[in-house]
Amino acid sequence: MRCDPTFSLLFVYCLSSHPILFVYSCLLSVLFLHIVFLNCIVFIIYLFLFFFYFFYIAVVLILSYVT
């Protein structure tokens, strides 16, 4: 993972966004803007984490509406 100004600005933006979408927006930003700098194994790991957190947030939102 490169630690360049783009990633730092995106991280600050994610901190100011909605708390539920914090991890999701950060993973999405990192995945799409830094995909060029990642090899295949790291890309697969990021893709797995991306979908894991996506489904986790979906479950949390569904449970918050049900209860």
Q: Is 22 exposed, middle or buried (0-12, 13-18, 19+ CB in 10 A)?
A: middle
Dig out the tokens for 20 from the structure: 């539920």
Domain boundaries, the chain: 5-66
Q: For residues 63 and 38, which has the higher predicted lDDT (pLDDT)? A: 63
C-alpha distances in Å from residue 7, one per residue of 1, 26, 38, 56, 57: 10, 9, 14, 24, 22
Chain centre distance of CA 53: 8
43 three-class SS:
helix
Q: Say if pTM beats, i.e. exceeds, 0.75.
A: no
Is the pLDDT assigned to residue 55 strictly greater than 70? yes
pLDDT digit string, tens, across residues 19-54: 556 666 666 666 666 655 555 666 667 777 777 777
User: Identity (one letter) of the amino acid at 5?
Assistant: P
